[in-house]
Copies of this chain bind each other. A is one copy, B any other.
Amino acid sequence: MRNQILKGRLRPGVRLPATRDLASQYDFSRGTIVRAFEELKSEGYIEGSTGSGTYVRRVLPDELLQAKQEAGTWAAPVPKNGRRLSDYGRRATLFSNSDNRPSRTFRANLPAHDLFPMGLWAQIASRRLRRISTSHLLVCDAMGYAPLRGAVADYLTASRGVKCVPEQVAIVAGMQEALDLATRLFVNPGERVCMENPGYPGAANVFNAVGAKVVRISLDEEGMRFDERRLEGARLVYVTPGHQFPLGITMSLPRRLQLLEWARRAGAILFEDDYDSEYRYFGRPVPALQGLDPYGVVLFAGSFSKVLFPSLRLGYIVVPPDLVERFTAIISITRRHAPLLDQTVLCDFLTEGHFGRHLRRMRDVYAERLSILSEEANLRLTGLLEVSDVQAGLQTTGWLCGIDAESAAAAAAKRGVEVTPVDRYSQGRVVPQRLQLGFAAFDEREIRRGVRELAIALEGAR
């Protein structure tokens, strides 16, 4: 009957058969029919009362009742006057994900997923799930699972020179969420945000969507230039001091100190993206900018996507003590907290030493792969691509010798090799042009083949 009314077959004002007649017609008890009528009445489909007669409600707008929309189709039209989005809604653009495409040699930002000890992870997860207490089904603190926050604080203090207590650590869904939360808390639409040029596109995406005026600052061999004119008025400055994205430069101590001092004076926030800093193949890791900060101006963020696996969606942000309350509030409003079971498994993985062991193993593997790449490049790419001697991260870059980067990338793609023109991360064009090459996800054979193919492609593109 509900369907008949919605489809317009039973028109508004039509008198319905008596419950007694319906009961005998459909062979139901009269009580059943009366209950169904009560329900339809409570939902506003029909009116009247048993005895005086029941009618299809008169106030139902005709037009709607006859609108036909089939289930299982993409039928709903765009509203005639168009879609009215917010300013944010109009600015947000897709931050696309190359990881879904089949993997090709030298794709950047790709760790060696095939070497992740998934069996071990599965074992820890099973143990956690078997022993789970009801309290772990309930929500946790917005900042995350307390033992995990402690384990992350310990790790960052020991390995990254970060100065923090567990209360300052928020567990988030990776770098994008860390960027989004920080930008929302500190930047109004129209305000200035600075970042490196070239720099991480995921950050630019967040800043542009929020409506920030994104100012790019160029680099030299000490990292981002200290350009006070361009920094002026910036509410937030995004930097990758440990290992610049995409060039791999380590920001020098004087630059770090100048930035900290400037941020204090300007009342600005420095967002330190510590991506991939676990992977340094020569010398000791460079301590974090955050560890030098006596003013509480640095937000330090990292992700477990590259050391563990990206689909886990877990990372962290370390915030100055007086901002803990603000971060708790924004996370509680926007997503309550990160999933708790995943957090408990990660916590065990860290505290039982698996994380450290996996990291050391991968460091050896990646160092070996990088040295194969350097060796092959010396042998076959001289005069075509000068590969830099950066000794960190999952990718390196090379200067093209008079070849256009986009043509080079296109020629390489035709030979099954994926190299990224660094200018894709830049505002404006930088000469000489560079290519980014990921080496971490590819074994010796693939790297040697990749370099051979790249050499042929670059010869052709010259």
Chain A positions within 8 Å of B, measured between CB atoms, are 2, 6, 35-36, 39, 42-45, 57, 59-61, 63-65, 67-79, 81-89, 92-97, 99-100, 113-114, 116, 118-119, 121-122, 125-126, 129-130, 132, 134, 136-142, 157, 163-165, 167-168, 173-174, 176-177, 180, 184-188, 191, 202, 205-206, 209, 222, 235, 250, 252-258, 260-261, 264, 267, 283-284, 286-287, 292-297, 309-314, 320-323, 325-326, 328-330, 332-342
Q: Which B residue's beta carbon lies closest to that of A45?
A: B253
A157–B71 contact, CB under 8 A? yes
Q: B121–A129 contact, CB under 8 A?
A: yes
Shortest A300–chain B CB gap in Å is 12
Asked if A335 and B157 make an inter-chain contact with CB atoms under 8 angstroms apart, the answer reads no
Chain B residues within an 8 Å CB radius of A335: 173-174, 176-177, 180, 313, 335
Closest Cβ–Cβ distance, residue A71 to chain B (whole Å): 5
Q: With the chains together, A39 CA to B332 CA distance in Å?
A: 43
Subset of 19 A-B contacts with CB under 8 Å = A39-B283, A43-B286, A44-B253, A64-B292, A69-B294, A71-B163, A72-B157, A87-B188, A88-B184, A89-B184, A95-B336, A113-B138, A114-B134, A122-B132, A126-B126, A136-B311, A176-B333, A176-B335, A206-B334
Q: Check if A334 sits within 8 Å of B176, measured CB to CB.
A: yes
Report Cα–Cα, A248/B152, bound state, in Å.
Answer: 43
Q: Which residues of B have CB within 8 Å of A92? A: 185, 326, 329-330, 333
Q: Which of B64, B125, B191, B250 contacts A125 (CB 8 A)?
A: B125
Q: Known A42-B250, A71-B157, A138-B311; judge A64-B296 contact (CB<8 A).
A: no
| Contact present for B61 and A257 (CB under 8 Å) | yes
Tell whether, in the assembled complex, residue A138 and residue B310 are in contact, meaning their CB atoms are under 8 Å apart: yes
In angstroms, Cα B59 to Cα A256, docked, is 12
Q: Considering only CB atoms, which chain B residue lies closest to A112 in the complex?
A: B134
**5 tightest CB-CB pairs across the interface, nearest first?**
A44-B252, A122-B129, A311-B340, A67-B294, A76-B296
Contact in complex: A97, B139 (CB < 8 Å): yes
A35 neighbours in B (Cβ, 8 Å): 283
Return the contact of A76 from the options B126, B191, B294, B328 (Cβ within 8 A). Answer: B294
Which of B70, B77, B113, B202 lies in contact with A137, CB distance below 8 A? B113
Determine which residue in A121, A168, A176, A258 has the highest number of CB atoms from chain B within 10 A of its CB, and name it.
A176
**Chain B nearest Cβ from A234, distance in angstroms:** 12
**A257 lies within 8 A of B60 (CB):** yes
Given known contacts A76-B295, A205-B333, A296-B77, is B321 in contact with A338 (CB within 8 Å)?
no
* B61 lies within 8 A of A261 (CB): yes
A254 contacts B44, CB within 8 Å? yes
Contact across chains for A97 and B336 when beta carbons are under 8 A apart: yes
